[in-house]
């Protein structure tokens, strides 16, 4: 979640469920391990959004004088981690790239091992549990749906 204060001092919140760019950052690990790994349930659809739209929405919120409240941003369609693995696998020339659901403890250790603080790892896992349990859900509208999907971006990441 990003909090932005506009020109009049009003505060708004921008909610982003998951960034497509997270998949780009995971590519070295994907190539090393030979799989996409995360604690999200494999068949849970998640509304990924391209980072560029977060920047545009945040800048707009900072310039707007009368906007308050929450703005949700979603990509063109929700994707499961199995679908994300398929898109990444196709781009990497590994069409059978699997998705592996990691236990929370393994993910926490991996995050801390990669440089995250234990607190940041715990927050990440808390968000993941909330997604898995359906406690975080976005409402898709024409206004909060962005056009660029992971398939449009993956070519930039593996080039």
* Rounded CA separation 71/69 (Å): 7
Model confidence pLDDT, tens digit, residues 74-112: 888 888 999 989 988 888 889 999 999 999 999 999 889
pLDDT confidence of 8, banded at 50, 70, 90?
Answer: very low
Asked whether the beta carbons of 13 and 43 are under 8 A apart, the reply is: no
154 assigned to some structural domain: no
- State the total domains in the chain: 1
pLDDT digits (tens, 9 = 90+) for 34-89: 998 999 999 999 888 887 777 777 777 777 766 666 778 888 888 899 998 998 88
Give a yes or no: residue 120 inside a domain. yes
**47 and 39 in contact (C-beta within 8 Å)?**
no
On whether the CB atoms of residues 83 and 98 are closer than 8 A, the answer is no
User: What pLDDT shows up at residue 107?
Assistant: 92
CATH code, domain with 137: 3.40.50.720
Per-residue HEC secondary structure of the chain comes to CEEEECCCCCEEEEEECEECHHHHHCHHHHHHHCCEEECCCCCCCECEECHHHHHHHHHHHHHCCCCCEEEEEECCCCECHHHHHHHHHHHCCCCCCCEEECCHHHHHHHHHHCCCCHHHHHHHHHHHHHHHCCCCCCCCCCCCECCCCHHHHHHHHHC
Domain that holds residue 9: 2-146
Report yes or no on 135 lying in a domain: yes
Position 62 in a domain: yes
Residue 86 resides in a domain: yes
pLDDT interval class at 6 (50, 70, 90): very low
Q: Is residue 6 part of a domain?
A: yes
Asked if residue 43 is part of any domain, the answer here is yes
The reply to whether 151 falls in a domain is: no
pLDDT at position 9: 46
């Amino acid at each position: 979640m990003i909090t932005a204060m506009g020109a009049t001092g009003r505060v708004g919140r921008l909610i982003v469920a998951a960034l497509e760019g997270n998949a780009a950052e995971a590519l070295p690990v994907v190539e090393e391990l030979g799989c996409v790994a995360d604690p999200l349930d494999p068949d849970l659809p998640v509304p990924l959004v391209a980072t560029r739209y977060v920047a545009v929405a945040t800048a707009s919120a900072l310039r707007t004088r009368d906007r308050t409240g929450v703005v949700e941003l979603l990509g063109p369609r929700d994707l499961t981690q199995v679908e994300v693995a398929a898109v990444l696998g196709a781009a990497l020339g590994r069409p059978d790239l699997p998705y592996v659901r990691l236990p929370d403890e393994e993910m926490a250790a991996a995050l801390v091992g990669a440089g995250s603080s234990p607190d940041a790892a715990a927050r990440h896992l808390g968000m993941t549990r909330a997604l898995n349990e359906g406690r975080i859900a976005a409402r898709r509208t024409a206004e909060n749906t962005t056009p660029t999907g992971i398939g449009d971006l993956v070519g930039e990441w593996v080039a």
